[in-house]
Amino acid sequence: MKGHVQATLEVFYRVERAGAIRLPDGGGPFGFDVTKALLVDDLLAAYECDAILETGCFLGDTTRYLAARYPNLPVYSCDIVAKHVEFTRRRLAAAGCRNVLVSCVDSPGLVEKITRLHERPLIYLDAHWEIRWPLDAELAAVARGVVLVDDFDIGHHRFSFDTYAGRACNAAVFAVMPSPPTRYWIPDPNAPWPLPCLQVGRRSGTGLTVIGLDADPLDRHPALTGHDLVLEAPA
């Protein structure tokens, strides 16, 4: 087993699934989908990312994993629910994670700040705030970086996606950005990974794009499929 895969295996399944108290997937890092963790490994290496930003920490399952798995990178996360932020901060402090900053702030502002502060951040957008959907504002705030949108429709029955006010989380979320990317990518649901996914319940899709960075690493990744972003003609 390659070194980075072994490192992911050792950290991923040792993170307590605090999110099980409410989340439909039972909690755990990346919804207990280790293939997402392996994809993040690959992207961090390919882009030599200098920071990780997560939006919507809830009780910190993914935050805890990221902080422990990448102790030499700054990790940022946020939530607008103060008790979630306080719990996550205490959890990370108890684990000795000193490379992470969890803020009780609105996520688009943090996205703008961090993506201007760092040159090659990886941005994992996973905020779900009751009836409000911050995704449009988050994407509009990205100055540069590798962007992963969770709960994205990849067109496969095994992978769920979000719908807010009748809008599905799909390629259209990229199309409404102030400066839309020309392409986006989704994982191949049948791609072989070096570790099996043990999530037998809800799995969610992921949509990826890059802002201000070279897209070649996404095109070269064997588990990703690229698509041209089709924009609607103005009325």
pLDDT bucket at 131, cuts 50 / 70 / 90: confident
Name the pTM for this structure: 0.96
All residues at 6 or more sequence positions from 166 whose CB lies less than 8 Å from its CB, including other chains: none
Beta carbons of 8 and 2 less than 8 angstroms apart? no
Is pLDDT above 80 for 40? yes
Numbers of helices and strands, H then E, in the chain? 8, 12
Quote the CA–CA distance of 12 and 4 in Å, as a whole number: 12
Cα–Cα nearest to 210, from 195, 196, 226, 199: 226
Distances in whole angstroms, Cα of residue 14 to Cα of each of 28, 43, 102, 166, 192: 10, 22, 21, 37, 23
The type of residue at 157 is H
Beta carbons of 31 and 203 less than 8 angstroms apart? yes
Identify the residue with better confidence: 18 or 24.
18
Average pLDDT along the chain: 95
Quote the CA–CA distance of 155 and 74 in Å, as a whole number: 33
Quote the CA–CA distance of 90 and 95 in Å, as a whole number: 9
CA Rg value for the chain: 17
Q: Residue 72 has what pLDDT?
A: 98
pLDDT tens digits, 145-177:
999 999 999 999 999 999 998 999 999 999 999
Q: Residue 132 has what pLDDT?
A: 80
Distances in whole angstroms, Cα of residue 234 to Cα of each of 82, 168, 169, 178: 41, 21, 21, 14
Q: Residue 22 has what pLDDT?
A: 87
Is pLDDT above 70 for 234? no
Identify the residue with better confidence: 229 or 2.
229
> Which domains, from first to last, does the chain contain?
3-228 (3.40.50.150)
Quote the CA–CA distance of 107 and 157 in Å, as a whole number: 30
Is pLDDT above 90 for 231? no
Percent of the residues in the chain that have a pLDDT greater than 90, as a whole number: 89
Q: What's the chain's length in residues? A: 235
The conformation of residue 101, written as its DSSP 8-state character, comes to E
